[in-house]
Structures are given as C-alpha cells and as structure tokens.
Chain A
Amino acid sequence: MSTDPAYRMAGPAGGESTLRIVWIYPDLLSTYGDRGNMLILERRARLRGMPVECIEVRSDQRLPISADIYLLGGGEDGPQALGAQRLIADGGLRRAAEQGSVVFAVCAGYQLLGGSFFAKGTKCAGLDLLDLHSDRGPSRAVGELAGAIDPRLGLPPLSGFENHGGRTHLGPGVSALARVSTGIGNDGNTEGAWRGKLLGTYSHGPALARNPALADLLLRWAIGVQQLPPLDDTWSDRLRAERSAALAAARQ
C-alpha cells in the first residue's frame, strides 16, 4: 500500500488524469452487493495514487461515453429486460466499448452483453457486444463458483458465489473466462466470457472482493500498463484460502 510518487501512474489511456468509473443503472441492476465492484476498483486505484471519479448513471440518464471502466450488475428479470432496452436505445455503451473502454459485467449484466437472453419467459435482445446467447437452465445455480482462469489472462483461479437461473452458450467470437471446477457458471463446464477489454462473469455481486487480481487486470486494461505496484492483499488472500479450503472439505 503506497502513495509513493514513484508509483504514480501517468493516468488512464484517454489522456485524462482521472480514472472514470461508471456504474450503469444502479436503480435497475443492483443486487447482492454489486456496489462492491465499484468501491474495490476505486480503492485499488487510489492506493496507487490515482485520482478516481465514480459516476452512478440512473436508467433515466444518458450514459457518458468517455469513461474508462463501465460496470454492470445483477438484477431480476423485469429490471434486466428494461435495462437492456434502455442501453440499446442509449447506444452509449456500444460506442464506449468500440473506443476501447473496459466493461465488467456480472450475472444479469453479463447476459445482456450477449445477443439474447430470457427474462420472464420471453427472449430479449441483448447489446450484442459479446458473441454469446443465454437461455434458461433446468435448475437454479446457487452456491460457490470456482475454476482456473484462461491462462492468457495470467490470473489466479476464480473464486466466487453464483445465484442465477440462466445458461450461457459461447460463440467463436469470445473466450471462456474460466473452466469450472465447482459450480455451474455458463453450463457446468465453462464460466464467464471475455473479448478485448470486455469481461463478464456469473460470479455475482462483489466478485472483485474475492478476485483482487481480476480487479487489477481491469485497472491495467483501463490505464494501459502491464504492471501495477502490488498492494497488501493479506485479507483477500486469507479469504481466498479459507473459501478454497471450505470447497476442498465439502468435496470429501
């Protein structure tokens, strides 16, 4: 943990000196502690001496297109369908993604980045930013979610909790985020998806609390650097170890 000048970053790729994080539609897409991802990114950037601005954009407001990181949270069927409609009509997220902004989406937010998803028994159009489609699974996936992350991302295993009724089918245009060792994720085999600087996961709520290295990946993508100064991650390390021990105990 240091705010030593030697660690100061040049600033995000956009040339602005402030890292701008947008939480999309907290009035619709906010369950299970989704706010946590914004708080964690903000804290980890600040600890490296970087000024941060967090912007919560309600569903009746226009989405700014010049932010560095966009966050999408979880939600029930109704708000998910409404959120997708408004995001498609707004058009801002597509433009931001095309300009190279980072998008991190969980649960319902992850599904609506794809081509289509099911809400309240109806097939709904998604934003089509990721080559994937979601439908309903035979049962609800509730519980711990874990697995090895795509080695190209260079991250330790994913650790999370899932609570969703969807199943997601990946097309050739995206890569799976992880191979599932515990839980369901997309379909019992793979979990989440990524392409470029867009990344989605079924690890819901404050997914970054248990995956600080993933938080740093999003920050590195946003800033355009290979490395960030390390932080004291004692507590998240202990949390990850405790969860992984609990999973091992449950398997016996």
Chain B
Amino acid sequence: MPLRAKVASSVSRTAAALSRAAGRGDGSVIGGWIGLKIDPDLLAHLASGRAIALVSGTNGKTTTTRLTAAAVGVLGRVATNSFGANMPTGHTSALAKAGSTPYAVLEVDEHYLAQVLEATEPRVVALLNLSRDQLDRAKEVAMMAQLWRAALVRHPSIRVIANADDPMVVWAATPPATRSPQVAPAPVIWFSAGQRWHDDSWVCPECGSPIERMADQWWCTGCWLRRPEPQWVVEDDGVVDPAGDWHKVVLQLPGRVNLGNAATALAVAAEFGVRPTDAVSRLGGVASVAGRYAQVAKDGRTVRLLLAKNPASWLEAFDMAEEAPTLLSINARDPDGLDTSWLFDVDFAPLRGRQVLITGDRAYDLAVRLDVNGVPFQHVRTFTEAITSVPPGRLEVIANYTAFQDIRAELDRVN
C-alpha cells in the first residue's frame, strides 16, 4: 500500500474511533469520508488483494450481505459493512476497520454500483432487484438498469449472479449482443428469489413492448428478453443448487423472501468455493440485521420489527409477518421521502382478518388508504398504546425508515 494510502487508512480508522467515542453514530461513514479526502484512491488500495463480492439492489441488500458474509466466513475472515453504510465512504471505513482480510462482502447502494465496481474490482457482483424507492428523489427504474448494464459491460470478467425473476435485473445483467465476441463475458449465474412487485416492469427496457407474465415465467412480447432458467432455486424450505441437490435451510429470519436471500448468499459463496452443505448452518446463525427482524419481549408481548421502505418491501413484509396483530407505522420525514402517495401502490389486502393498528406522523394517510382498501384498523397515538391494545402473544410491527428508528429507540429505552 502506498504511504499516502497507509496514512489515509490510519486516519480513517482513528476518525471512526473518535466519532464512536464522541457518541456520534457508529463512525462508519465519517471515518471513510475523512479517509477518502486524503486519498481518493483509498478504496481501491484497501480493496486490492481481497476477493470481493458486491451485493446491490433496491431491497434485501443489507440482509443478503449479512447472509453472504456469514456463508463466505466458512473460508476465513470477511470484511463487511454490516451497519448498512453502503456508499463508497462506508466501504472505505469497513475495509480500513477490518484490516487485512482475504475476503470482503460489501452492500452497495444501487446508485453507486458503477463507481464501486471500478474501485474494488470485485470477483462477484450479486444483483437482487430494481423497483421504485423514495419517490421524490430516485431515478427512473429503467435508467438505473441502464447504468448497471453500462458498468457491467466495462467489466466483462466479473461473475454476475442475478435474479431471474426481475426483468429489469435480467436486462441489466445481459450484455448487449456483440458482433465480435473476442472477450466473451463470463456467463451469468441466475437465481430465482421471486418477485412480488411487478409494477415497475410492465414495459420491456430493451424494446418498449409489454412484458407478459404467467405463473413464474415472464417474457417480452417484442424481443428476445425473457426469464432465463435459474440455477439456484428456492424449493419448499430449502434451496436447490446447480447440481440439482436440495439443501434444507433453517433461518431465524422470517419469510420466503429471506429464503430467496439465502439462495443468493449460497450462490455467491459458491463462487468463492464454499459448498452449500458447509454454508447452510452459518446462515441459521444470523438472528437480526441492524435491528430488523429483532424480537423483543415487552409486557407479555413478543414484538418483532420489520422495516418496509418502499412498495416492494411492504409486500415482502406482509409475507414475513405471521397471522398476528400487526402495527403499521408511517412517517414522511426527509429520509423517508416527503410524499406518501406510494401507499396507494401497495395492496394491503393480505392484512384482512388480522387485528391492524396504525400509528406514526402520517397515520391518517394510511387510514384513508386502508379504508379504501377495505382493511379495518384502529388508530393508536403511541407504541405503548399499541402494546396494550393487543392480547399477550406476538405483535408484528411494520414501519418505514424513521418510524422504524422511533420504535427501535422506544424499545431500547425500556429494555
């Protein structure tokens, strides 16, 4: 490592420690920011010599990164940005803090994938899904797919592991046909993680024709784009690998969505030489991810927290939640996006038949939505009121970003 990078790395570590000591967050972003100021190539220096996997997509990247790091951990020490600091500054901090490790698994914000590909030259990149997120600031979904595609074309040697169920991802992962394929890109490994959300992929990104769907299959009515045959598939409570062997997967994380994330983690780990049989027990050790899925006992209720930050992840949260009383909490502060229109992109019908409570800064927006959706509910002012409004037993909590943080803080205070 050049001297300048060494100094930057050491300063970065110190700043992170100072930031933590001063009680200003976990230091994972601030440290990296200072390090990058000193040496813009710091991330590249820190990355070199490691076998790296990047994980990106609109939803599930934090959880999939956590599961993948656990699976690759079979081989040795793994650096990872486990606090969800998923931009280059966060990656720099994570690598600097971890010191020298043979492996790194990094969660990457979808907007930064091209930049981080360039800097880290990963061995593997896993592409999960693309859908609308934080409406009043995000790029068009098709635009994001185009950026991914252009970045991957510049790096044909990287192994791409991608979700066969998302047309936008399949298109982004498939390089445009070249007339002179001297540098044939490595074939894409496809996994099937399912896709509940279809509203951002009705129109083909290649030719603009409608995309048709039937059961698991989808295809463009105007061109070559269609669902590829996946090599990694969720089946019952396990995952089938490319050899056709089925592996039982017992997770502490709920829902079929997380089985899909587990399949992705196994596929990525396999690229590093980890056999699925050796990795599955590691996946079962992951209990919560940055507070998500955490279960907390309070007043005879078992409270489980699920984060849902955009329409696609709400549908996934309904899948993860048990048939139990459910509290929904909605805010619209800066990190959430100020606009609540997306509530009408979500079909809340799966909640019919459960006791539904609502709270949060924007509970009334949610109330109107549920009323139109024919889902009976009860409005509560506080989290404590919610607890006392449900019988002893499980309470599922689904909240968007700052609402989730509010409830977590309230639970931390009492526990």
Contacts and interface: CB of A to CB of B under 8 A. Distances in A.
A221 interface: no
Contact of A36 (B140, B341, B364, B374): B341
Nearest to B132: A31
Contact of A163 (B135, B140, B208, B374): B135
Nearest to B364: A239
A62 interface: no
Contacts of A210: 368
Interface string B313-349: 0000000000000000000000000111111110000
Contacts of B364: 235, 238-239, 242
Nearest to A40: B372
A31 B337 CA distance: 15
Contacts of A40: 372
Contacts of A205: 339, 341, 344
B210 A58 contact: yes
Contacts of A4: none
A27 B339 contact: no
Given A76-B140, A239-B365, A27 B345 contact: no
B203 interface: yes
B377 to A, nearest CB: 9
B136 interface: yes
Given A27-B203, A30-B199, A143-B338, A239 B344 contact: no
Contacts of B136: 142, 163
Given A209-B365, A238-B364, A239-B367, A204 B372 contact: no
A143 B135 CA distance: 12
Contact of A33 (B208, B209, B344): B344
A32 B200 CA distance: 12
B135 A31 contact: yes
Given A28-B203, A39-B372, A235-B367, A204 B140 contact: no
A32 B339 contact: yes
Interface string A16-54: 000000000011101111111001100100000000000
Interface string A213-240: 0000000000000000000000110110
- Name which of A30, A33, A60, A142 has the most chain B CB atoms within 10 A of its CB: A33
Contacts of B373: 39
Contact of B202 (A27, A39, A82): A27
Contacts of A143: 338
B369 interface: yes
Given A161-B339, A163-B136, A235-B371, A35 B365 contact: no
Nearest to A39: B372
Contact of B210 (A27, A34, A36): A27
- Name which of A79, A163, A235 has the most chain B CB atoms within 10 A of its CB: A235
A40 to B, nearest CB: 6
B338 A33 contact: no
B369 A209 contact: yes
A26 B203 CA distance: 10
A163 B208 CA distance: 25
Contact of B344 (A26, A28, A142, A209): A209
B368 A235 contact: yes
Given A32-B341, A142-B136, A209 B368 contact: yes
Contacts of A60: 209-210
Contacts of A142: 136, 338
A32 B367 contact: no
A43 B339 CA distance: 23
A164 B67 CA distance: 40
Contacts of A82: 208
Contacts of A31: 132, 135
- Name which of B338, B340, B364, B374 has the most chain A CB atoms within 10 A of its CB: B364
A157 interface: no
Contacts of B372: 36, 39-40, 43, 209
Contact of B367 (A35, A204, A238): A238
A36 B135 contact: no
Nearest to B135: A32
A58 B135 CA distance: 23
Given A58-B210, A76-B140, A236 B342 contact: no
A206 interface: yes
Nearest to B374: A43
- Name which of B210, B338, B365, B374 has the most chain A CB atoms within 10 A of its CB: B365
A130 to B, nearest CB: 23
A206 B344 contact: yes
B341 A239 contact: no
- Name which of A31, A58, A238 has the most chain B CB atoms within 10 A of its CB: A31
B368 A239 contact: yes
Nearest to A28: B203
Contacts of B371: 235
Interface of A: 26-28, 30-36, 39-40, 43, 58, 60, 76, 79, 82, 142-143, 161, 163, 204-206, 209-210, 235-236, 238-239, 242
Interface of B: 132, 135-136, 140, 199, 202-203, 208-210, 338-345, 364-365, 367-369, 371-374
29 contacts: A27-B202, A31-B135, A32-B341, A32-B342, A33-B342, A33-B343, A33-B344, A36-B369, A39-B344, A39-B372, A39-B373, A60-B209, A60-B210, A142-B136, A161-B338, A161-B341, A204-B341, A205-B344, A206-B341, A206-B344, A209-B365, A209-B368, A209-B369, A210-B368, A235-B367, A236-B368, A239-B364, A239-B365, A239-B367
Given A206-B341, A235-B368, 17 more contacts: A27-B210, A28-B203, A31-B135, A32-B135, A34-B344, A36-B341, A43-B374, A76-B140, A142-B136, A142-B338, A143-B338, A161-B340, A163-B135, A163-B339, A206-B344, A238-B364, A239-B364
A-B pairs, top 9 by smallest CB distance, nearest first, are: A36-B344, A205-B341, A33-B344, A33-B341, A239-B364, A32-B341, A235-B367, A206-B344, A27-B202
